[in-house]
A and B are shown apart, each in its own frame.
Chain A
Amino acid sequence: MKVALCLLIYNLGVLTIGPMVLTRLTARTPAPRFGIAVWLTATISVLVCWPTAVTVLVVEVAGHTTGDDLITSCLRRLVAVLAGHSGVPALVIGWVVTTTLVAWGVATTARFGVVVYRSRRRARDHARTARIIGYRAGADLVVLPAAEPAAYCVDGRPSTIVVTTAAIDALDSAQLAAVMAHERAHLHGRHNTLTTLLRGLATVVPRVRLFRCAAEQVSMLLELCADDTAARRYGREPLLGGLLALSGVTPRAGLAAAAVGVLDRIARLHAAPDPAMALRSRAVLGSTAVAIAAGPVTIATLTLSGILLCTV
């Protein structure tokens, strides 16, 4: 019982305070990769611990046992319950709950697969269409005649960067190079794939705030990563100039946090780089990721070493 309780409490902790705490920690960080690592650690640990905790709990409740909490014996006892060795009520509960949970798990995984597949197909089609109607300006670049300034990249076969003529008119050559470097950083780092997976998870399990926050925040952090790559190559000024030139020109309904995000990026590029702060940020984020991962590892270790074997 203790194992299940510990895992559930840990899970609930990550799920309830995770979104707020992690958002505060990772916003505007000079080490966006570390920020992404923190969010992914939290997401993966919840995905791993939640089914484990529920399974252990089911076994405990159905088997009416306390005491020996080793995971392997849990599975053996689950099998025993399902085989009828703990009596008929336990047998019924055991089967109903197990099949429901397994069915839900399989269905959710399947839905996730479908959502991700559809998303990737839409991106491929969009890239293909852009390549047909736009003018090829490079191996991965397509220029689209349009009145709205826009520059974006989309995964496909092959992945493509789309820049409108209005955007090209708004940028000088250094700024355009910086924008291209930013978009290429997205493509080389497979950022769109990560975003697709996280958004898929948030779509398929919408009531878990952590997953929605992870999708949003990681998207933002990926922009910061691409900014850093482009700034390293072309300097902060052309990139900043590009951001300013392309900001706030197109009136379109879009992301609620869009303006804040852009302002964050501009402020970040505008300020002088602070190596001490970067180091501090890396240390904080790194230890946060380790702390999150340590939860289930600690619980598992304590279980296996017998400390959690005392009866409740």
Chain B
Amino acid sequence: MAKRGFGDLEAVVMDHLWKRDTSAGVTVREIFEEMSEARHIAYTTVMSTMDNLHSKGWLSRERDGKAYRYRPILTREQHSARLMREALADGGSSELVLSHFVAQMDPEESASLRAALRKLTRQAPQQ
């Protein structure tokens, strides 16, 4: 079994949270019990992971007696949309450096590219 990094735990914890109904909030214990079914994990690990996710803005929390109840702030789809916006907004001078397989372009550029491609690929690729 490949060694899992800490980042993977965050993904697993968020996965558990998104699969549940979290309108009332979820405690660390509930997530810990769910995760223990699939793997060996310490309660403190789950607790610090969820604490981390909270401080990084993924989860909100409120006190319920001695424990916290956690809730995801955004759905997976909302995060996904944000991420895509960031990835596709990449411009030459933006701070985020990505290497797109195909550079993103506007509709006019798309159309002229398609026209040029039709001309070019009428011949089969030469060997």
Q: How many chain A residues have a CB neighbour from B under 8 Å?
A: 74
B residues near A128, Cβ cutoff 8 Å: 7, 10
- Whether A248 lies near B97 (C-beta < 8 A) is no
- Output the least CB separation between B25 and chain A (Å): 20
- Closest A residue by C-beta to B78: A133
- Closest A residue by C-beta to B58: A132
- Output the least CB separation between B46 and chain A (Å): 15
> What CA separation (Å) do A132 and B49 show in the bound complex?
12
Stretch touching chain A among B28-36, B37-45, B61-69, B85-93? B85-93
Contact among A133, A154, A243 for B76, CB-based, below 8 A: A133
- Whether B126 lies near A151 (C-beta < 8 A) is no
- Closest B residue by C-beta to A120: B97
Contact among A133, A191, A263 for B79, CB-based, below 8 A: A133
List which A211-255 residues lie within 8 A (CB) of chain B.
215-216, 219, 222-223, 226, 236-237, 240, 242-244, 246-255
List which B15-34 residues lie within 8 A (CB) of chain A.
none
Q: How many chain B residues have a CB neighbour from A under 8 Å?
A: 49
- Whether B95 lies near A118 (C-beta < 8 A) is yes
A129-B79, A247-B102, A261-B103 are known contacts. Are A236 and B125 too (CB-CB below 8 A)?
yes
- Output the least CB separation between B115 and chain A (Å): 10
Stretch touching chain B among A52-60, A90-98, A103-111, A264-272? A264-272
A123 at the binding interface (Cβ < 8 Å): yes
A133-B14, A195-B97 are known contacts. Are A237 and B125 too (CB-CB below 8 A)?
yes
A residues near B125, Cβ cutoff 8 Å: 236-237, 240, 269-270
> What CA separation (Å) do A240 and B121 show in the bound complex?
10
B48 at the binding interface (Cβ < 8 Å): no
- Whether A153 lies near B98 (C-beta < 8 A) is yes
A146-B80, A154-B98 are known contacts. Are A266 and B120 too (CB-CB below 8 A)?
yes
What residues of chain A have their CB less than 8 Å away from a CB belonging to chain B? 115, 118-119, 122-123, 126, 128-134, 136, 139, 144-146, 148, 150-155, 157-158, 162, 164, 179, 182-183, 186, 191-192, 195-196, 199, 202-203, 215-216, 219, 222-223, 226, 236-237, 240, 242-244, 246-256, 258-259, 261-263, 266-267, 269-272
What residues of chain B have their CB less than 8 Å away from a CB belonging to chain A? 2, 5, 7-8, 10-11, 14, 58, 76-77, 79-81, 83-84, 86-93, 95-107, 109-114, 116-117, 120-121, 125-127
**CB-based closest 5 A-B pairs:** A248-B110, A254-B104, A258-B103, A259-B109, A258-B105
Given contacts A126-B83, A150-B104, A246-B102, could you give 12 more A-B pairs where the C-beta distance is less than 8 Å? A119-B97, A131-B10, A132-B79, A150-B100, A153-B99, A154-B87, A154-B98, A192-B98, A247-B110, A254-B103, A259-B112, A263-B116
Query: Can you show 9 pairs from A to B with CB atoms below 8 A apart?
Result: A115-B95, A118-B95, A122-B95, A133-B76, A136-B8, A136-B11, A154-B99, A183-B101, A266-B120
